[in-house]
Structure 1
Amino acid sequence: MERDHAKYQRLIESCSSLEPLPTAVVHPCDASSIDGAAQAAQAGLIAPILVGPRARIEAVAAQHGIDITGYPIVDAPYSEAAAVAAVALVREGKAQALMKGSLHTDELMAAVLSRDSGLRTGRRVSHCFVMDVPGHEDALIITDAAVNIAPTLDEKADILQNAIDLGHALNVAEIRVAVLSAMETVSSKVPSTVEAAALCKMVDRGQVTGALVDGPLALDNAIDPEAARIKQIDSPVAGRANVLLVPDLEAGNMLAKSLSFLAGADAAGIVLGARVPIILTSRADSIMTRLASCAVAALVAKARRESNNAMG
């Protein structure tokens, strides 16, 4: 499917005035992760520090004709050691983002979430897809489809706030969050509807801030104005949502993958709530999707710097 990726192009262009983001690329031992880092560096989005077994990284780069001259390599013998070393680079102030290479997400997250040496903050760590869906005017943020399996209400509040903060970092003019369920009425038989209603009350009370939030909403009346009109849902979010908060990881994963494989959408991925943004890419990602994920991380890091400067 030929695509112009206008939404992702806008994201990448909005980083043109930023310095490349010093990024520890964790265990880049296959062609796609080395090439993704090199292309993002050539686009001026990141300044990669390759962390992993030096001989293997250099051999794969040479085999596939990828020029990594000039990129520092921190030698680490295997994937878990690379994750620990990359997290240490962040703690030392040498890297301002992490990028997943050819290791399992849980290996990377174990180092990030280590109580003693990790990158925890007071906020729950969560994942967002920034999806470019053909025929849909704006990028869609979907959360959480990759980290939190069955989040509690308190965890959902953090996931919601992380997504709202991401929307602000991406300069979304008005963030409209739909808290999704299978229906738009509250029923004790469907716990996700009760939690959606509770999240909306938390917004009313200022426990979550920065967006219009409504739920429970079903997917159709969250994103389709006509579906919302037929159901007579009077809401500033219904039919116009640009952030979709899903009930659990399974629902989010299925939603994101159905958009990717049935609607030709692309899914840039980012993990939020740690000290620095974490770029999660998939081996199946196109170069454009990888670049968009790096652009998202650069904008999140910029927002964090501005927030820290404002605080002190």
Structure 2
Amino acid sequence: MSASDTIRNRTWDQLQVGETATVERVCAVQDLILFAHVSGNTNPLMLPTQEEARAAVPAMAPSLWVGSLVSAVLGNILPGAGTVYRAQSFRFPSRVHVGDRLVATVKCVAKRERPLAVFETTVATADGRVVCEGTAEVEAPLTSVSTARRTLPQIIVDQHDHFAKLMAAAAHLPPLKTAVVCPDDRNSIGGVAMSAKGGLITPILIGDEGAIRRAAADQGVDLSGFPVVAEKDHRAAAAKAVAMVRAGEAGAIMKGNVHSDELLAQVVKKDGGLRGPRRISHCFVLDVPTLDHLLFVSDAAINISPDLTTKVDIVQNAIDLAQACGLPKPRVGVLSAVETVNVAIPSTLDAAVLSKMADRGQIKGAVVDGPLAMDNAIDLEAAQTKGIGSLVAGRADILIVPNLEAGNMLAKELTFVARAEAAGLVLGASAPVMLTSRADDARARMASCALALLYEHFRREGAPAGARPARRLAS
């Protein structure tokens, strides 16, 4: 370890009156959010909303956060390791805002009875404006210590809200008449109410009318504007929703408090279902705190062990959804356990074929590459470390999983471990089907409604919402 990697403290005996030390820091939005978490101070003057953070509104920093910079100088540099506070006074003649570059300075002004020392403390902006001043009394260390310069572990603060952008884009479209199957619990009826209020859907409620009305009453939801179709049996309610779509009485289906299998069995029926020209698949759309873009994961809910032909449709369905959400040329990473073709691992062979099919235009609208392992599909540094040269590696927007088990575990790990928000949509059917987990909250269901509206618009117009529709050539 070099000298530049270590910091040596100043013991009380070594300390000289007049010695100074400084630390520089730029005030960031993340500092304010973390300080609010640690202190519990949620004063709106000092805790920017997500909208303000994205718009770079210069929120005011809490005064004690500014003062805490003084402790960084005392504890790290002068006197350094082993210093213990006795007392600190502060005065704040001016305010700090996000983006201000600050210089915290301490100056030894007196040595008292061993081990006490007194420091003049100041925090000023880069242009010399004093924002904090005071006096610190500390116990200086008595033993000389060299410590390694420490890099604190990364803390993830989610400052993105990609679902809000989707909802805003979908809100410009006419609401989608939606048959909602068994919305008789808190999350599903709340999602219906929120989505209807946001102008995304016009709901038709199908299920046990008493249970639906009790759930609505518990959540304070007014059902006076929503038609209710009474059907106590879950399977019959799902069949009724499919029949309404086939008859043109609804344009989409939304899952409520019903098992996915019961709903999907009606959707995928050969006779009387909603099958289209492609294989039906499911796509999770995740807002992951560590990513600055939406992540699409498919198929994690319908096709258990898809063959190559099915995977072609899974990939194309996911590409269409990503384009509907505003990605003109999404990057598709086809996942396996390794990033090289291995004849003993069939998913690597499928991935290589899918990649070549995209090169030859058999899969359209995206850049497709595989096989890729999860790390080098999503992390650029991991891809570079392994020497993978690819337009997709480290930058994937869409992840195609080898089978349902892998996809379901991946999506739920991101949701419950990485705290991602998840929405979901069934693709390839003759109408959108919002297939959310019964544990999903109202916001996740609203995001799924936005996906359905954007996807249906894309299928109808050939272009995402807000874009000019593709010119249709005369036959």
TM-score, scaled to structure 2: 0.63
Task: Say whether 1:224 aligns with 2:379.
Answer: yes
Higher relative contact order (CA 8 A, sep 6+): 1
* Whole-Å separation in 1 of the counterparts to 2:171 and 2:256: 24
Give the structure 2 partner of residue 239 of structure 1: 394
Instruction: Give the Å deviation of 1:108.
Output: 0.5
* Whole-Å separation in 2 of the counterparts to 1:304 and 1:173: 14
Sequence identity (%): 54
User: More deviation in 154-163 or 259-268?
Assistant: 259-268
* Whole-Å separation in 2 of the counterparts to 1:257 and 1:113: 24
Gaps of 5+ in 1: none
Task: Say whether 1:158 aligns with 2:313.
Answer: yes
Question: Which deviations, in whole Å up to 9, do the C-alpha atoms of 1:233-269 show, x marking residues without a partner?
Answer: 1111111110000001111111111111221111111
Aligned runs of 1:279-290 on 2, under 5 Å? 279-290=434-445
Instruction: Give the Å deviation of 1:150.
Output: 0.5
CA contact (8 A) 2:188 2:442 kept: no
Cα distance change of structure 1 residues 49 and 154 upon mapping to structure 2, 3 Å threshold: same
Task: Say whether 1:181 aligns with 2:336.
Answer: yes
Number of residues of Structure 1 aligned to a counterpart in Structure 2: 312
Cα RMSD after superposing both structures? 1.8
* Whole-Å separation in 2 of the counterparts to 1:311 and 1:248: 38
Instruction: Give the Å deviation of 1:156.
Output: 0.5
Q: 2:173 aligns with which of 18, 33, 57?
A: 18
Question: Which deviations, in whole Å up to 9, do the C-alpha atoms of 1:168-210 show, x marking residues without a partner?
Answer: 1111133000000111110101111011011112212322111
CA contact (8 A) 1:150 1:249 kept: yes
Gaps of 5+ in 2: 1-36, 38-156, 464-468
* Whole-Å separation in 1 of the counterparts to 2:191 and 2:171: 18
User: More deviation in 200-209 or 238-247?
Assistant: 200-209
Q: Which amino acid aligns with 2:207?
A: G
Question: Which deviations, in whole Å up to 9, do the C-alpha atoms of 1:33-79 show, x marking residues without a partner?
Answer: 11111111011111101011223322332244221111011222311
Question: Which deviations, in whole Å up to 9, do the C-alpha atoms of 1:251-308 show, x marking residues without a partner?
Answer: 1111111111221111111110101111112232232212111101110111122149
Aligned to 1:14, what secondary structure does the other structure show?
helix
Higher helix proportion, which one?
A: 1
Q: Which amino acid aligns with 2:449?
A: C
Give the structure 2 partner of residue 132 of structure 1: 287
Aligned to 2:417, what secondary structure does the other structure show?
helix
Instruction: Give the Å deviation of 1:5.
Output: 5.1
User: More deviation in 152-161 or 111-120?
Assistant: 111-120
Higher strand proportion, which one?
A: 2
Q: 1:94 aligns with which of 234, 237, 249?
A: 249
CA contact (8 A) 1:27 1:78 kept: no
Task: Say whether 1:210 aligns with 2:361.
Answer: no
Give the structure 1 partner of residue 86 of structure 2: none
Question: Which deviations, in whole Å up to 9, do the C-alpha atoms of 1:9-53 show, x marking residues without a partner?
Answer: 111111121111111001212222111111110111111010112
Give the structure 1 partner of residue 54 of structure 2: none
Give the structure 1 partner of residue 43 of structure 2: none
